[in-house]
Structure 1
């Protein structure tokens, strides 16, 4: 049986799983949420965020998680006077669900081409709108870490940067029952979708501790990554069959389908 391991946090793989069920129904899906998202719910941070937003020229949400947790923490409507930038389609969809769209009078920027859904693509997009960042106040809403390269670009061009944590990521417990499905599956008949370097590190660390079966997953399983930096992380951790695909659920499904079809050849 061919297995596909979905490694996103609980809830974030739902649409992806639905698409896979429609297009590759013979794939057996294994849900392994390598990271869990814990929202920042501190009252003092909510008050602090409201003040920061009022003083901001551009807010950058680094992920759908940052949007959902950030808006919940803000506890009020996003001001239309403050522009928003996001990296890719998943974050744009999260804004759409909250009706934060250009059609509704908001200023929203993100790369339109899925091939450019990364920090570099967003930087190019923003520089088509603004050529002088000196003195601009940029607010990054994120988890613990993320988009360091993009922050450095703004700083090098004279902008003022504020980093604000709207959530934190918690690695999947080593005692979690979800690992048992992995242990029972055949790595040579399995592929794993990885969309986070942090998830890659946690995954590899756990496998290296499993002396009886973990090494086979490092050497035999197909690792499909949605960005070159994630590919680099996977290779550095010792995964042997690493493949790059473009970001976005449709591209992940396409890559999974290609892998599945290759098993029959």
Structure 2
């Protein structure tokens, strides 16, 4: 046990977990079992778009599509709402091992799948691209993502002659603090700075916006430790004012080890 009782946990260094989805709850439960003071602040809540006719029609006939890019676990979860099984001619692509595992869990081991192997530091669009080039240019590639996303990878496909179709498969609703979370933040800024687990560059901006109404909260947050999964996120964290940043993977045990190290101090 890290802390001796519930009162100590409430007064101890907060652990702010910002990964969207069920993975955040899974990690939170593991840390709470060790009496950590966990704040579940997923950067985004994932919802299906209000208008689904376009994506329903597109996914009902994939005969002309050779490759489908699913860049995140949220994309996989959303698309599984429409697709029970992928046609044999389609290759799926994603940007890292974490999402690849979610894809396998959703559609099994037989689905054709390409992705960069290794930890999160060696993942991302740039890491996927050489694998795509080795695989060969698809005539038509379908990107299924949130309402916004990086344009770098679609542009690379266009540069080699692929017909690119980008569709919004889900909507990200950014974190907004409720009254209880707002009050807890007000009380916390006088205490130990947090350990923040953050898994996207957009989540950095969401965090800064969420804490903005509380006096002193931005300095309190940025004086803490950020645990991130990619150098691009590290760069954005430094721009936001963080100086203590560690890179980790998306593996629960690895992340937990990084977090617990800072709670033991």
Same fold (TM over 0.5): yes
CA distance in structure 2 between the aligned counterparts of 1:169 and 1:32, rounded to whole angstroms: 14
Matches within 5 A, 1:12-27: 12-20=23-31, 25-27=34-36
C-alpha contact (below 8 Å) 1:218/1:238 kept by paired residues: no
C-alpha contact (below 8 Å) 2:69/2:141 kept by paired residues: yes
Between 1:190-199 and 1:51-60, the stretch displaced more is 51-60
CA distance in structure 1 between the aligned counterparts of 2:231 and 2:221, rounded to whole angstroms: 18
Unmatched tracts of structure 1, length 5 or more = none
C-alpha contact (below 8 Å) 1:226/1:252 kept by paired residues: no
Q: C-alpha displacement at 1:161, in angstroms?
A: 1.2
Q: C-alpha displacement at 1:218, in angstroms?
A: 3.8
2:108 maps to which of 90, 100, 106:
100
Name 1:110's counterpart in structure 2: 115
CA deviations over 1:78-117 (Å, ceiling 9, x no partner): 212211011223322222222332xx3x211122212422
For the structure 1 residues 59 and 219, does the alpha-carbon distance in structure 2 shift closer, same or farther, using more than 3 Å as the test? closer
1:82 maps to which of 85, 90, 101:
90
CA distance in structure 1 between the aligned counterparts of 2:222 and 2:50, rounded to whole angstroms: 41
Name 1:204's counterpart in structure 2: 208
Aligned-partner SS, 2:23: coil
Aligned-partner SS, 1:67: helix
Alignment partner of 1:154 is 2:157: yes
For the structure 1 residues 251 and 126, does the alpha-carbon distance in structure 2 shift closer, same or farther, using more than 3 Å as the test? farther
Q: C-alpha displacement at 1:9, in angstroms?
A: 2.8
Q: C-alpha displacement at 1:234, in angstroms?
A: 1.8
C-alpha contact (below 8 Å) 1:35/1:170 kept by paired residues: yes
Aligned-partner SS, 1:37: strand
C-alpha contact (below 8 Å) 2:84/2:107 kept by paired residues: no
Between 1:156-165 and 1:121-130, the stretch displaced more is 121-130
C-alpha contact (below 8 Å) 2:55/2:167 kept by paired residues: no
CA distance in structure 1 between the aligned counterparts of 2:176 and 2:104, rounded to whole angstroms: 33
Aligned-partner SS, 2:241: coil
How many residues align structurally?
252
For the structure 1 residues 190 and 77, does the alpha-carbon distance in structure 2 shift closer, same or farther, using more than 3 Å as the test? same
